Structure 1
């Protein structure tokens, strides 16, 4: 694999992707320690706030990533000023651990350079150690940290 290319999603492709992306985000929130119903509510609110106009929300870009004719993953970023923020990147389940995540992120960097952007950021859940390691290998550095503590009911 020499790299992947990013192909913009169509509005018709966006609809099923959106449902799958929200479900995956729900799973990630739940894996970080939130109850499933709260995770689902959190995901629904987050996506509604980030994408009020769905596919047509300004400054948001959605791509599928391809290696030749094979779809290998997807990427969603938002651009503000000179910065891209990766909201979602994923590799198709049967193709993980084969270098596609790295290739998609490098394609994202090429797109950013080609569009005059000077910074790229992202959020990664603490439990996603594989993704964290990849991002560190790609030169991402930690710029903040969220902490949480579950409170037990008081008697």
Structure 2
């Protein structure tokens, strides 16, 4: 696998990315047992709260990832002090299960090292077993666990 490079999203790229990212988040929330309406509301509220100034929100870095000239996915990271938090990472649908998720996360780690960031965290939905497995293989450890019960 070649090293991927991260390029900041342009303003023109941000709008369609945001719509797709919110839709994906909505589907993930639905998979936890929430109604489609509640999930869509949560996704919209979350993205509005986290990115009030859209791609220009201070501390947030939103990149497309490339293998050569081919766009293979994206990465969204927030940095505070010497810690980064991955809010979203994805590989283009037709390119999944080919090592690009790993390559994007390794690019994130290289960027963090280059910017004196000493810790990187993330949250992953319990139902996303593929991502959980990848993160464990990359050395991430579980730091907390959310649980719920429908009544």
TM-score (norm 1): 0.96
- Unaligned regions of 5+ residues in structure 1, if any? none
Length, aligned pairs only: 151
Deviation sequence 1:12-60 (CA, Å, 0-9, x none): 1111101110110000000111111100001011111101111111000
Offset, 1:82: 0.5
Give the structure 1 partner of residue 86 of structure 2: 86
Q: Which runs of 4+ in 1 moved over 4 A?
A: none
Task: Report the secondary structure of 1:29's partner residue.
Answer: helix
CA distance in 1, matches of 2:134, 2:39: 25
CA distance in 2, matches of 1:127, 1:33: 11
Offset, 1:3: 1.6
Q: Does 1:47 align with 2:47?
A: yes
CA distance in 1, matches of 2:94, 2:2: 19
Task: Report the secondary structure of 1:72's partner residue.
Answer: strand
CA distance in 2, matches of 1:101, 1:28: 18
Task: Report the secondary structure of 1:143's partner residue.
Answer: coil
User: Computing the radius of gyration over CA atoms, which structure comes out larger, 1 or 2?
Assistant: 1
Task: Report the secondary structure of 2:33's partner residue.
Answer: coil
Give the structure 1 partner of residue 7 of structure 2: 7
Q: Does 1:107 align with 2:134?
A: no
TM-score (norm 2): 0.99
Task: Report the secondary structure of 2:87's partner residue.
Answer: strand
CA distance in 2, matches of 1:47, 1:7: 21
CA distance in 2, matches of 1:10, 1:28: 26
CA distance in 1, matches of 2:45, 2:4: 32
The 5-angstrom pairing of residues 115-126 of structure 1 reads 115-126=115-126
